[in-house]
Amino acid sequence: MRLDEVLHPPIEPLRQGRLTVGDGHALYWETCGTPDGIPALFLHGGPGAGISPTSRRFFDARRYHVVLFDQRGSGRSTPLGATHANTTPLLIEDIERLRTLLGIERWLVFGGSWGSTLALAYAQAHPRRCLGLVLRGIWLGTQPEIDWWLYGIRQFFPREWEAFASHVEPAEQGDLLAAYQRRLTHPDPAVHGPAARAWARYEGSCLHLLPQPAQVEAFGTDAIALGVGRLEAHYFAHQAFLAPDQLLQGMPRIAHLPGVIVHGRYDVICPPRYAHALADAWPGVQMRMVTEAGHSSMEPGIAAELVAATDRFARSGGFA
């Protein structure tokens, strides 16, 4: 099964624009599909990864009106890699600004990895604005998940972790986050650039069940690395700007909403235990554990389940 066989056909944007949200941030946004279709919001991962043309292909363009945007500091939003005035509550405010701008009452919220975190936080803040949720690669923003990313992944990707850790001095490796923060926030591109590339290449190396050298190279480019490296470290340092266990404790606010969780059985970026914890707190959610997959939405098995979920919702307004 190839990725192109499971995704919907490529589609161009209907509208594009920039939304000024204050503090020097301007967000790139676009819509695609059918203007009178089911409204849907796509939330990218990272933080800092940004959207791509492939992001549009999880939805049937004949049935959906899809809204996609690059979050603060990400993709084509400016300034790239900016961490000032960049928090989860502010991103939630940005989503509401965009919804109001486009005149949308309620929408299906779709998010993977960090996008699943933001989707849950947004839905719990604005449950009446959500038709349902499609979530992939669950990350709840807790300290154990952050510690796992920084140190636990070495159990499965030891060489990749060694390359990541060796970018800083041996004496600093006991606190990799602080060591990288010092470099990523340094004003000199000769310091923050290599640190961002090392951070992003580490993540890109661990995304898939099977090695994908092209993905690693893409994550190492300046266009992706600066957003991913700076913003992930920034959000890690602040526990994703969430209270401890906030998202699980907030599930009663959205437990009535239909939802699908898609997760790779061998996801080492976001271990499956957290997807199961979310499912346990969400009666009636549909859980799809993909046996031959890691973390990436670009793995065919995961992409197939995500497309199946949006197709089912388009047919029936639910996921059963």
Residue type at 39 in one-letter notation:
P
Using N-to-C axis directions, what is the helix angle for 176-184 and 222-237, rounded to 10°? 130
pLDDT at 218 over 80: no
Q: Which of 281, 285, 273 is nearest to 252 (CA)?
A: 281
Provide the pLDDT for residue 256. Answer: 96
Write down the catalytic residue from 74, 113, 296, 297.
113
Catalytic member of 94, 267, 296, 297: 267
- Asked if 167 is an active-site residue, the reply is no
Q: What is the mean pLDDT of residues 173-200?
A: 96
The SS3 assignment for 218 reads helix
Active-site residue (options: 44, 295, 296, 297): 295
pLDDT value at 213 more than 80: no
Domains detected in the chain: 3-142+241-316 (3.40.50.1820), 143-240 (no CATH)
Q: Could you give the percent of the chain with pLDDT greater than 90?
A: 92
Per-residue pLDDT, 320? 73
The question of whether 52 is a catalytic residue gets the answer: no
- Rounded mean pLDDT, 76-100: 97
Reported pTM: 0.97
How far apart are the C-alpha atoms of 76 and 50, rounded to whole Å? 8
Average pLDDT over residues 223-251: 96
Distance (Å, rounded) from C-alpha 280 to C-alpha 205?
30
Rg (CA), the chain: 18
Contacts of 260 (CB under 8 A, 6+ apart): 133, 134, 135, 285, 286, 287, 288, 305, 309, 319
Is position 77 annotated as part of the catalytic site? Answer: no
Query: What's the pLDDT tens digit per position in 10-24?
Result: 999 999 999 999 999
pLDDT of 212: 79
